[in-house]
Amino acid sequence: MSGSIPGKILRLKTVLERTGLSRSTLYRKVQRGTFPKQLRISTRCAGWRESEVEAWLHNPVSYSVTGEQR
C-alpha cells in the first residue's frame, strides 16, 4: 500500500476486512505459518504489522512465515 505508515499495526477487524478471511481461517493460517503472526501489543491486545499483511495480500499462495517460497 503506497500510503501506509511505516510500522503501522493493524487490529483484527481491519485484517479481516482487508483479507476477506473469516476469523477462524485467519487463525488457522497463522498456526500453519501461511499468514503473518500477530504481535502482542498489551496483555489483552494483539495486532499485525501492516507491511506483513500487505506482503501476504500480494502473494497469499506462496507466503510463508519463514520466507520460503513454495
Pairwise CA distance, residues 27 & 38, whole Å? 9
**pLDDT averages per 10-residue partition of the chain, 70 residues:** 72 97 97 95 94 95 69
Output the pLDDT for position 63.
Answer: 86
3-class SS at 62? coil
Q: Measure CA 18 to chain center.
A: 10
Q: Where are the domains of the chain?
A: 9-58
pLDDT score at 69: 46
Write the Ramachandran bin of 33: left for phi over 0, alpha for psi from -120 to 50, otherwise beta: left
What's the pTM value of the predicted model, to 2 decimals? Answer: 0.80
